[in-house]
Amino acid sequence: MGYKVNFAKVNEIFDALSKEYDIYAPKLFPNEGRYSETDIVRYDRVTKVEDIVFDKKSDYPAKEVLSPITETIFYFTEDEWRESKATSKKIMIFMRPCDVNAMEHQNKIYLQNGFEDFFYKRMYEKVKVVLMECKEGWDTCFCVSMNSNKTDNYSLAVRKEDNDLLVEVKDDAFKPYFEGVEANDFTPEFIEKNEVELEVPEIKNKTILNKLKQHPMWQEYNSRCISCGACTIACSTCTCFTTTDITYNENANVGERRRTSASCQVEGFSLMAGGHEFRTTTADRMRYKVLHKFHDYKVRFKDSHMCVGCGRCTSRCPEFISITATVKKMAKAIEEIENEVNANE
Amino acid sequence: MNQDINVKKLRTNCFRQSKVPGEFMLQLRVPGNLIDAKYLTVIQHIAQTWGNGTFHMGTRQTLNAPGIKYENIPAVNEYIESYIREVEVEQCDVDMEVNNAGYPTIGARNIMACIGNIHCIKANINTQKLARKIERLIFPSHYHIKVAVAGCPNDCTKANFNDFGIMGVNKIDYHPERCIGCGGCVKACEHHSTRVLSLNAQGKIDKDTCCCVGCGECVLVCPTSAWTRSQKQFYRVTLAGRTGKKDPRAGKLFLNWITEEPLLQMFANWQKFSAWVMDNKPEYIHGGHLIDRAGYHKFKEMILDGVELNPECLVADNIYWTESEQRSNMHLIPLTKHEPAGPQSK
């Protein structure tokens, strides 16, 4: 069932929804960009449709709603503890197809990877997706190449047309909100071709993988990448976090445990108790990330690569390291290795 | 060469005397150091038509044409009428009459600026916009003042060596909920700036707000936008820096965290202060020396008269000039030869 809803009416519906839902969407934060007098777009609670940014890709992904950068997970006093309270309301998130597909990858990590993450699960169970139609994309997008340009996993879908929203209501629970609104046969369209296309190379066996890890192509990143981690925070699919115990005073028996997003690109990420560190160079860390997104995850979960091609890592990189260019360099390296292996056989 | 030339009058007209008798160098003002590239053809035309065919980039960011013969100066002045109108009146909103007589004064020198945030990744402010607003407060005036605007405290403009050096700074907002404790800002601050950040036991950042210079290096390096520039724009002002034979010195911090409105109010007081120090008789001496004559406290009283400082603004209680030459008693004018300040009996 579809509708054409003017903004005034959308805001009435938002009001009605707000009794049950917190609505999250990409919002403009003026002058909060990396450089002076530049803006960022990131997810935040919205109360009116005018707050939602439709014409730009958000700098940060929708995952920030489901797994906030900093989250208190429990409070403790000596041997007693209790979990932090879940949000009381349900959550409605305006997401593009890349973010919806990313959420499905995150579900695998948090919910289907041998255990269920209690804190993620309780958030996820509250989420209703409002799909933001995305037909054009931006210059760093390559969702089509990663099969993440489409989704049917949504309750509502919207297209902004001037001062109206065209809405498809897929979840009948939302129909009452649209009573008396002009009908429309809108269903979302999806982008079919990005400016950038990427063919992710297949790493056929362990020999090639091991040779690839040693390949000189990664050395470039020792001088280019600054290990800031902006790519992983901007990534729609990264899930790594660390935990910190916050004790309120010198009495370490009273406090809270927080989890905070972590980045495999930041120095010290793989530092072990005792001092051993697996990946000591920037090149090592870059290689780890790229292989994780374009090899390891697929080996483990079979059906798809982890990367959804949202391109936010490329957009946010202060050193202009393009993920698609990197994967293309990797493809060339693999080809070299395969030729070398074949020649020696 | 046998011509009767008033070189001082020509200097006021922005033509500098050459060692070649009868030749002069024109200096075209470029307030804020940014103009439409179309004006390059203006200076090119002057250099090739009346000058010696060369072009000099002025050390105060003026467009200079050397080798202009005295007799051609009226033609040059007629030609630059439209440049002065477009750059000074239309671009900077300067209140002046423009005619075919060229620049009315060289007094307040060209306001220098770095490229600022229209280009630079480090800059905190639009340096040109500010320079143009100051231009209309200090020009045209015979009172000599040197002002420079830098986009950040890195001060590529060398604002520190001007009577008034203005640097764009920012009170940076911290959003702890977005901070992942990566320590990137701590390293950046230590490497590039004043080492005011540290990672605390809670995995978040502590800041020594007293020593923070507001440069924004933490914002640049932050992967999560946990550090963002505040919506309010601030400036730091260094005072009475100068180059020169006698006692070159870097400026001293005069105002910190001042906002634009009081900053402009302060500049509006400059001519009044200069007039008082020199008893209404402009001399060829620049602002820093006037501050020396009046003394910092008299200067402060007059320059901040009626200025409504924003609550964050800090004003230096005292400024001590500690030139090494003074300590070693070299190059100094004896006290008996110091010029007095204020109204003089006839």
Residue of A nearest to B170 (CA): A36
Is the same domain home to B146 and B285? yes
Q: Per-residue pLDDT for A92 more than 60?
A: yes
Cβ–Cβ under 8 Å, residues A61 and A93: no
Cβ–Cβ under 8 Å, residues B7 and B88: no
Query: Final residue of a domain: which of B229, B252, B271?
Result: B229
Structure tokens at A340: 């070398």
Cβ–Cβ below 8 Å for B231 and A30 = yes
Is the same domain home to A62 and A144? yes
Helices within B99-200 (DSSP H only) = 127-138, 184-192
Average pLDDT over residues B259-271: 97
In this complex, the residue of B121, B180, B223 whose CB is nearest that of residue A35 is B121
Chain A residues in contact with B121 (beta carbon < 8 A) = 34-35
Its sign, for the CA torsion A40, A41, A47, A52, is: positive
Helices (H) and strands (E) in chain A, counts: 11, 11
Residue B268, domain CATH: 3.30.413.10
Cβ–Cβ under 8 Å, residues B79 and B51: no
The pLDDT tens digits of the residues spanning B145-176 come to: 999 999 999 999 999 999 999 999 999 999 99
Cα of B228 to nearest chain A Cα, Å: 5
Model confidence, pTM: 0.92
Residue of B nearest to A248 (CA): B202
Residue B85, domain CATH: 3.90.480.20
Cβ–Cβ below 8 Å for B117 and A36 = yes
Amino acid at B210: C
Cα of B185 to nearest chain A Cα, Å: 10
Is the same domain home to B52 and B77? yes
Kindly compute the dihedral angle of the four CA atoms of residues B254, B259, B95, B25, in this order, to the nearest 10 degrees: 50
Is the same domain home to B151 and B243? yes
Chain A interface includes B343 (CB < 8 A): no
Cβ–Cβ under 8 Å, residues B313 and B255: yes
Q: Quote the mean pLDDT of chain B.
A: 93
Chain B interface includes A315 (CB < 8 A): no
SS3 of residue B141 by DSSP: coil
Chain A residues in contact with B206 (beta carbon < 8 A) = none
Q: Between the CA of residue B16 and those of A281, B24, B67, B70, what are the distances in Å?
A: 58, 5, 10, 11
In this complex, the residue of A68, A228, A242 whose CB is nearest that of residue B221 is A228
Is the same domain home to B264 and B147? yes
Q: Is A197 exposed, middle or buried (0-12, 13-18, 19+ CB in 10 A)?
A: exposed
Residue bearing the bigger pLDDT, B284 or A221: A221
Chain B residues in contact with A257 (beta carbon < 8 A) = none
pLDDT band at B283 (very low <50, low <70, confident <90, very high): confident
Chain B interface includes A40 (CB < 8 A): yes
Is the same domain home to A10 and A152? yes
Amino acid at A153: N
Q: How far apart are CA B143 and CA B274, in angstroms?
A: 7
pLDDT at A171: 97
Average pLDDT over residues B38-54: 98
Q: Per-residue pLDDT for B36 more than 60?
A: yes
Q: Between the CA of residue B33 and those of A108, A171, B37, B222, B286, what are the distances in Å?
A: 56, 60, 12, 31, 21
Within a domain: A128: yes
Within a domain: B48: yes
Is the same domain home to B192 and B255? no
- In sequence order, the 6+-apart residues with CB closer than 8 A to the CB of A205 are none
Structure tokens at A253: 């028996």
Residue appearing with tokens 């046969």: A185
pLDDT band at B324 (very low <50, low <70, confident <90, very high): low
Strand partners, B63: B28, B57
The pLDDT tens digits of the residues spanning B235-251 come to: 999 999 999 887 788 99
Q: Per-residue pLDDT for B346 more than 80?
A: no
**DSSP strand pairing (A241-247 vs A254-261):** antiparallel
Is the same domain home to B32 and B131? no
Cβ–Cβ below 8 Å for A229 and B223 = yes
The pLDDT tens digits of the residues spanning A284-316 come to: 999 999 999 999 999 999 889 999 999 999 999
Taking only residues 233 to 262 of chain A, the set having a beta carbon closer than 8 angstroms to any beta carbon of chain B reads 233, 242, 244, 246, 258, 260-262
Q: Where are the beta strands (DSSP E) in B179-246?
A: 197-199, 205-207, 227-229, 234-239
pLDDT band at B328 (very low <50, low <70, confident <90, very high): low
**DSSP strand pairing (B112-113 vs B63-69):** unpaired
Within a domain: A253: no
Query: Final residue of a domain: which of B229, B251, B269?
Result: B229
Cβ–Cβ below 8 Å for B180 and A263 = yes
Residue of A nearest to B203 (CA): A244
Is the same domain home to B222 and B314? no
* A to B CB pairs, distance under 8 Å: 83
Is the same domain home to B147 and B177? no
The pLDDT tens digits of the residues spanning A199-217 come to: 999 999 999 999 999 999 9
Chain B interface includes A320 (CB < 8 A): no
Is the same domain home to A163 and A309? no
Closest among A238, A309, A237 to A269, alpha carbons compared: A238
Q: Which run of H or E residues covers position B79?
A: helix B73-79
The pLDDT tens digits of the residues spanning B180-239 come to: 999 999 999 999 999 999 999 899 999 999 899 999 999 999 999 999 999 999 999 999
Chain B residues in contact with A40 (beta carbon < 8 A) = 225
**DSSP strand pairing (B164-169 vs B147-150):** parallel
Q: Per-residue pLDDT for B327 more than 60?
A: no
Cβ–Cβ below 8 Å for A244 and B202 = yes
Within a domain: B39: yes
**Number of separate domains in chain A:** 2
Chain A interface includes B191 (CB < 8 A): no
Is the same domain home to B153 and B215? no
The answer to whether the peptide bond before residue A26 is cis (omega within 30 degrees of 0) is no
Within a domain: A199: no
- Most B CBs within 10 A among A36, A233, A259, hence the mutation to make, goes to A36
The pLDDT tens digits of the residues spanning A138-165 come to: 999 999 999 999 999 999 999 999 999 9
Query: Final residue of a domain: which of A137, A158, A178?
Result: A178
Chain B interface includes A266 (CB < 8 A): yes
Q: How would you classify residue B57: left for phi > 0, otherwise alpha for psi between -120 and 50, otherwise beta? A: beta
% residues pLDDT > 90 (chain A): 94
Cβ–Cβ under 8 Å, residues B50 and B25: no
DSSP state of B160: G
Overall residue count recorded for chain B in this entry = 346
Query: Final residue of a domain: which of B183, B206, B229?
Result: B229
Is the same domain home to A20 and A101? yes
Cβ–Cβ under 8 Å, residues B215 and B193: yes
Is the same domain home to B16 and B84? yes
Is the same domain home to A173 and A213? no
Q: Per-residue pLDDT for A48 more than 80?
A: yes
- Most A CBs within 10 A among B117, B129, B178, B182, hence the mutation to make, goes to B182
Is the same domain home to B223 and B248? no
- In sequence order, the 6+-apart residues with CB closer than 8 A to the CB of B266 are B237, B255, B258, B303, B304, B307
Q: Which run of H or E residues covers position A17?
A: helix A7-17
Is the same domain home to B147 and B11? no
ipTM of the complex: 0.95
Is the same domain home to A106 and A174? yes
pLDDT band at A227 (very low <50, low <70, confident <90, very high): very high
pLDDT at A303: 87
Query: Final residue of a domain: which of A162, A178, A194?
Result: A178
Cβ–Cβ below 8 Å for B180 and A69 = yes
Chain A interface includes B99 (CB < 8 A): no
Chain B interface includes A113 (CB < 8 A): no
- In sequence order, the 6+-apart residues with CB closer than 8 A to the CB of B163 are B145, B146, B147, B239, B240, B241, B242, B251, B286, B287, B288, B291
Within a domain: A267: yes
Domain that holds residue B311: 112-169+233-337
Cα of B108 to nearest chain A Cα, Å: 29
Cβ–Cβ under 8 Å, residues B209 and B197: no
Average pLDDT over residues B140-145: 92
Overall residue count recorded for chain A in this entry = 345
In this complex, the residue of B123, B176, B223 whose CB is nearest that of residue A36 is B123
pLDDT at B205: 97
Within a domain: B200: yes
pLDDT band at A220 (very low <50, low <70, confident <90, very high): very high
Within a domain: A172: yes
Q: Quote the mean pLDDT of chain A.
A: 96
Domain that holds residue A130: 2-66+87-178
Chain B interface includes A59 (CB < 8 A): yes
- What crossing angle do the helices spanning B260-268 and B127-138 adopt, rounded to 10°? 30
Chain B residues in contact with A36 (beta carbon < 8 A) = 117, 123-125, 151, 168, 170, 216, 229
The pLDDT tens digits of the residues spanning A259-288 come to: 999 999 999 999 999 999 999 999 999 999
Closest among B193, B147, B205, B197 to B169, alpha carbons compared: B193
Query: Final residue of a domain: which of A163, A178, A193?
Result: A178
Structure tokens at A264: 């495999």
The CA-to-CA distance between both ends of chain A, in Å, stands at 61
Within a domain: A190: no
Is the same domain home to A211 and A304? yes
Within a domain: A129: yes
pLDDT at B321: 75
- Most A CBs within 10 A among B129, B179, B217, B225, hence the mutation to make, goes to B225
- What crossing angle do the helices spanning A323-344 and A206-214 adopt, rounded to 10°? 120
% residues pLDDT > 70 (chain B): 96
Taking only residues 137 to 166 of chain B, the set having a beta carbon closer than 8 angstroms to any beta carbon of chain A reads 151
Structure tokens at A329: 């360099």
Cα of B151 to nearest chain A Cα, Å: 10
